[in-house]
Amino acid sequence: MRITKNTTIGQLLEMDPEMGNILTNIGMHCIGCPSAQNESLEQAAEVHGMDADDLIEDLKGFLGA
Checking if the pLDDT of 62 tops 80, the result is: yes
Q: What is the pLDDT of residue 27?
A: 84
Alpha-carbon span 50 to 59, nearest angstrom: 13
Regarding predicted confidence, which is higher, 65 or 35?
35
Instruction: Give pLDDT tens digits for 3-55.
Output: 999 999 999 989 888 888 888 888 887 777 778 889 999 999 998 899 999 99
The structure's pTM equals 0.84
pLDDT above 70: residue 65: no
Taking residues 52-64, report their average pLDDT: 88
